[in-house]
């Protein structure tokens, strides 16, 4: 149900990560190797990146498959960045939202993606929707479960939660309201990366030249990739990765 990745490290053309590796995110759109649910990620894609000196990311998103976009290779070759978040989408339910439903979702300095599906969406999350201010619901960029999860995460960020706490709190609340949901979330502010595993795969890689990649699956066969256990919160910078187990909510 999607593949996604994030990077923080030395400034590079984003194509070096998104397009060039033998099992890149581009290839994962039609031939993922570790995806547990779905086989083709052709319902949209997006790349968000940070320019030097600008904390607000730029985004390039489309409703169609990444392999059909003729402009992307040129962008990927010349646009350099020290941080990015990218995703290819396999829609949980077909809908009219087009590229508005394609990750990364954005607000301020943050980029967000969801790999998975919410069980019983949307009825199962009605209690959580009732806890959000009405203006948060009116700002939903699309009518999909990922967009609503982003609203929950964004609400926690606005109230002061750090990246990892915002993801962990959202995952445990949604898992309690909708048991059986798959909730691999990915979030960056251009400096740090936070991610969760809850029902699908996640890996991290410290690059030999510096920098960290966090991805649904490895983009090559390097032995340096490390798999993240299920039900784990990952926090990463360009130099360090920390893992914390996630637990079911007691309520």
Cα gap 193→184, rounded to integer Å: 13
> Rounded to a whole number, what is the distance in angstroms from the first to the last CA of the chain?
28
pLDDT band (50, 70, 90) for residue 209: confident
Joined tokens for residue 164: 């990892």
- Is residue 1 over pLDDT 80? no
pLDDT the model gives residue 73? 97
CA-closest candidate to residue 178, choices 214, 218, 148, 208: 148
DSSP 130: H
- Is 2 considered catalytic here? yes
Q: Which of 1, 2, 18, 128 is catalytic?
A: 2
pLDDT > 70: what percent of the chain?
96
Q: pTM to 2 decimals?
A: 0.96
pLDDT the model gives residue 221? 97
Residues in the chain, overall count: 251
DSSP 68: G
The predicted-structure confidence for 56-85, as pLDDT tens digits, reads as follows 999 999 999 999 999 999 999 999 999 999
The DSSP element (H or E) to which 59 belongs, if any, is: strand 58-62
Domains of the chain as residue ranges with CATH: 3-245 (3.60.20.10)
- Mean predicted confidence (pLDDT) in 106-115: 98
- Is residue 250 over pLDDT 60? no
Peptide linkage before 104 cis (omega within 30 of 0): yes
Edge to edge, the sheet with strand 232-236 lists 105-107, 110-117, 182-188, 193-197, 232-236, 241-245
pLDDT the model gives residue 96? 65
pLDDT the model gives residue 92? 67
The predicted-structure confidence for 143-171, as pLDDT tens digits, reads as follows 899 999 999 999 999 999 999 999 999 99
């Amino acid at each position: 149900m999607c593949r996604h990745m994030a990077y923080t490290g030395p400034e590079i053309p984003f194509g070096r990560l998104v397009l060039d590796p033998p099992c890149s995110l581009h290839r994962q759109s039609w031939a993922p190797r570790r995806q547990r649910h779905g086989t083709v990620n052709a319902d949209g894609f997006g790349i968000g990146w940070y320019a030097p000196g600008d904390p607000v990311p730029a985004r390039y998103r489309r409703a169609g498959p990444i392999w059909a976009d003729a402009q992307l290779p040129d962008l990927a070759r010349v646009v350099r960045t020290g941080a990015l978040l990218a995703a290819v989408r396999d829609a949980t339910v077909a809908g009219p939202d087009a590229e508005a439903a394609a990750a990364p979702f954005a607000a301020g300095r943050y980029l967000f993606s969801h790999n998975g599906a919410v069980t019983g969406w949307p009825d199962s999350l009605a209690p959580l929707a009732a806890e959000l201010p009405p203006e948060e619901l009116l700002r939903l960029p699309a009518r999909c479960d990922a967009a609503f999860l982003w609203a929950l995460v964004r609400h926690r960020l606005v109230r002061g939660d750090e990246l990892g706490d915002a993801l962990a709190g959202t995952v445990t609340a949604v898992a309690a309201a909708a048991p059986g949901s798959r909730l691999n979330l990915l979030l960056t502010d251009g400096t740090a990366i936070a991610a969760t595993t809850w029902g699908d795969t996640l890996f991290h890689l410290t690059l030999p030249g510096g920098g960290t990649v966090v991805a649904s699956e490895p983009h090559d066969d390097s032995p340096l990739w490390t798999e993240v256990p299920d039900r784990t919160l990952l926090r990463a910078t360009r130099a360090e990765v920390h893992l914390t187990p996630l637990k079911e909510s007691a309520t």
